[in-house]
Amino acid sequence: MTEASLPEDLRYTREHEWVLKSGDSTVRIGITDYAQRQLNDVVFVQLPDVGKKVTAGEPFGEVESTKSVSDIFAPVNGTISALNEALSDSPELVNTDPYSGGWLVEIAVADAGSLDEALGGMLGAAEYREIIGDE
């Protein structure tokens, strides 16, 4: 499969994260199919503790593969509200199921209005496809 899988219902960042609104004021974050293919075999995922505050555009964790270590960037300001605990024993889920079982964290924001505004500023699938050259 040469073409990256890009679900249309997600939003995307230029740093190759996907973002899904999971509640009125929460989002679920993961790395894109394109990003996991660039990393190759993911062997470790370092995530922050629940309750940690994160700042949009700043790194909050790392994905380590057999090729390199890559930062994970927060797409919104907020607080880590959930972690994908399955990744501690099975980091390869990032490779095999990046949009479902391989999600990384959930972030809670202060108010739903600011979340909708932030999501509106992110890339849609077509825009992200242009960035990765996968048209």
Please give the class, per CATH, of domain 11-112: mainly beta
Residue 108 has pLDDT above 90, yes or no: yes
* Least trusted range by pLDDT, from 79-83, 90-94, 112-116: 112-116
Digit-coded pLDDT (tens) for 13-69: 999 999 999 999 999 999 999 999 999 999 999 999 999 999 999 999 999 999 899
Task: For the full predicted model, state whether its pTM sits above 0.85.
Answer: yes
**Which of 19, 15, 30 lies closest to 91 in space, CA to CA?**
30
Query: How many Å apart are CA 120 and CA 37, to the nearest integer?
Result: 26
Domain-by-domain residue ranges, the chain?
Answer: 11-112
Digit-coded pLDDT (tens) for 85-96: 999 999 999 999
Confidence of residue 3 (pLDDT cuts 50, 70, 90): low
